[in-house]
Structure 1
Amino acid sequence: MTFSDADFDYVMTIVAEAASKEIMLRFRNLDAGDISEKTSAIDLVTEADLRAERHITAALKTRFPKAVIVGEEAYEADKSVVPALAHAELAFTIDPVDGTFNFAAGLPVFGTIVAVIANGETIASIIHDPVLGDTLTAMKGGGTFLRRQTGQARRLAVAAPASLKAMTGAISWGHMDEPERSRICGNLSKTRMAFSLNCSAYEYWMVASGKWHFIGHSKLMPWDHLAGVLAHQEAGGYTAKFDGTPYRPGETTGGIISAPDEESWRMIRREIIGA
């Protein structure tokens, strides 16, 4: 099963359609009944999540009927689909509204993420900003590009390596337990500035475009990270799990760090993540 440039354009189109028809119509226009908690008050699902995922899933099934499709919301009904990503001939992961807490609060910091996986390797990624209409795209071996709604495109590159005290970035400590949570929060004071966006789409956007030096996560759900890791790598960056091994489709544990290069990765691992 192949995945062509025309296929990639098709996926970009259906992601933009879902953003326009299902997400933006509901942004800052949700009723209380349109928002539900999943695991906590900061882990939400809205009608926009559900409808956008259904829209994208249906379109993917039409064009790729044999592909494995793993949507964040559908995963709640069948968790066996994530391990299948490691072996499927062709697969897709979908995060319809990444940053749902922000979306539900009316903050314009959220995105739609789709990754394309073939035979256990991420080969393409799309991170779409529904508010601006811009899209971050990457193809394996083809670089990472920012594609404006107007049609303009430019190639992206990660930030140059810097000293720790000059670095900016984010480590998503909110999903960590003690003592890691407090240790990492304290260690982030060694950097120039640390951020918290609660949105993987924008975090990968920032690090792949060189606006930040690093990001890190302990929770590794594939719809949050496969697309972003490819975009970061194709922009020249280095990503590995906390133990130094590569992050692969189907994995959900171990934590990852994305940095400008391997030496920077080792510094973040040593000075920020720590023992």
Structure 2
Amino acid sequence: MVEEVAALVREVARTVVLPRFGSLAADDVREKAPGDVVTVADAESERALTAGLTGLLPGSVVVGEEAVAADPAVLQRLGDEGAVWVVDPVDGTANFAAGRTPFAMMVALLRGGETAAAWILDVPGDSMMAAERGSGAYRDGVRITARADVPPAGTLTGSVPTRYFPDDLRRQVDAHGPELGTVTSGRHCAGYEYPAVATDTQQFALFWKVMPWDHLPGALIVREAGGAVRHFDGSEYRPGADGPGLIVAGNPGIWDLVHDTLLPGER
């Protein structure tokens, strides 16, 4: 099913999302919450993915970002024992709406409440990351493995978008950020940040908001490559988790180093 889902994601991206890129009309974009925009491409691609995924796996259900926005009760389906698809039809919507990159399409498959498979498509670059639990992570069919060493803190590169952090935590992270090599505010697209960590383009990323469509696909890919995805208190991130704060790192040693540098005393 990995290849079938990958083909479906690519087809929806090609036929629904890309034709809208750079050509959205004013009424094609709306704000569904302060600072949180959605476009017609989000809605149309989620409908197409929902139809295609449930067709590939009859009896499955879909928890999509836009479906949950319309009916928050849909989120409770994450706990279903059967097959559950988690869909982010356009990740990095603010970038997409502004006519800039990166933006991605992300899908995860849950079975028995655990992530079994994941897909992230870099839509403009047509590059697919995929993983199955216990079978490794792949980029365009080539297996990827995260680095095994732990470089000095001053050489690490990562993203720390502190926009949503509480004030005290933001001050703490900002104070310790210079102890790391290069810290950016990120690319505003989890579908970029997770693959970047898995491929060692950067060694870590921090997030505050923990929505399943933003993190479940990337978390499996990073872990299958050898990385770590944990809450600020050190607990493993799992489906259904709603506690804020995640550190994503290229391996457990890097996770410890980043955590102890930026958030000493948080565990």
Q: Which range moves more in the overlay, 19-28 or 244-253?
A: 244-253
Cα distance, 1:240 vs structure 2? 1.3
SS at match of 2:172: helix
Between the aligned partners of 1:208 and 1:242, the Cα distance in structure 2 is: 19
- Contact persistence 2:22–2:97 (CA under 8 A): yes
| 1:157 is the counterpart of 2:145 | yes
Cα distance, 1:211 vs structure 2? 1.1
Structure 1 residues 210-258: Cα deviation after superposition (integer angstroms, max 9, x where no partner): 1111112111100000010100011111221111111111112232112
Cα distance, 1:269 vs structure 2? 1.6
Cα distance, 1:22 vs structure 2? 0.7
Q: Which range moves more in the overlay, 221-230 or 178-187?
A: 178-187
**Aligned counterpart, 2:177:** 188
User: If the length of structure 1 is used for normalisation, what is the TM-score?
Assistant: 0.91
Cα distance, 1:13 vs structure 2? 1.3
- Contact persistence 1:168–1:212 (CA under 8 A): yes
Between the aligned partners of 1:263 and 1:59, the Cα distance in structure 2 is: 40
- Contact persistence 2:22–2:99 (CA under 8 A): yes
Matches within 5 A, 1:40-79: 40-41=34-35, 43-79=36-72
Between the aligned partners of 2:263 and 2:100, the Cα distance in structure 1 is: 29
Between the aligned partners of 2:189 and 2:157, the Cα distance in structure 1 is: 16
| 1:143 is the counterpart of 2:166 | no
Cα distance, 1:193 vs structure 2? 0.8
Between the aligned partners of 2:209 and 2:107, the Cα distance in structure 1 is: 18
Cα distance, 1:261 vs structure 2? 2.7
Structure 1 residues 172-201: Cα deviation after superposition (integer angstroms, max 9, x where no partner): 312212121232233222211122111000
| Number of equivalent positions | 263
Structure 1 residues 2-54: Cα deviation after superposition (integer angstroms, max 9, x where no partner): xxxxx22221111111101110000001111111112223x110111111111
**Aligned counterpart, 1:4:** none
1:124 to 109, 112, 117: 117
SS at match of 2:95: helix
Aligned-residue RMSD, C-alpha: 1.5
Name the amino acid aligned to 1:138. A
| 1:254 is the counterpart of 2:244 | yes
Between the aligned partners of 1:238 and 1:187, the Cα distance in structure 2 is: 21
- Contact persistence 2:95–2:102 (CA under 8 A): yes
Between the aligned partners of 1:62 and 1:154, the Cα distance in structure 2 is: 27
**Aligned counterpart, 1:17:** 11
Cα distance, 1:273 vs structure 2? 2.9
Runs of 5+ consecutive residues of structure 2 not aligned to the other structure: none
Q: Which range moves more in the overlay, 15-24 or 160-169?
A: 160-169
Between the aligned partners of 2:216 and 2:118, the Cα distance in structure 1 is: 8
- Contact persistence 2:63–2:77 (CA under 8 A): no
Cα distance, 1:164 vs structure 2? 1.1
Name the amino acid aligned to 1:184. V
SS at match of 1:117: strand
Moved over 3 A (4+): none
SS at match of 1:92: strand
Name the amino acid aligned to 2:42. D
User: If the length of structure 2 is used for normalisation, what is the TM-score?
Assistant: 0.93
Cα distance, 1:260 vs structure 2? 2.7
Between the aligned partners of 1:49 and 1:96, the Cα distance in structure 2 is: 5
Name the amino acid aligned to 2:159. A
| 1:98 is the counterpart of 2:91 | yes
| 1:37 is the counterpart of 2:31 | yes
- Contact persistence 2:198–2:250 (CA under 8 A): no
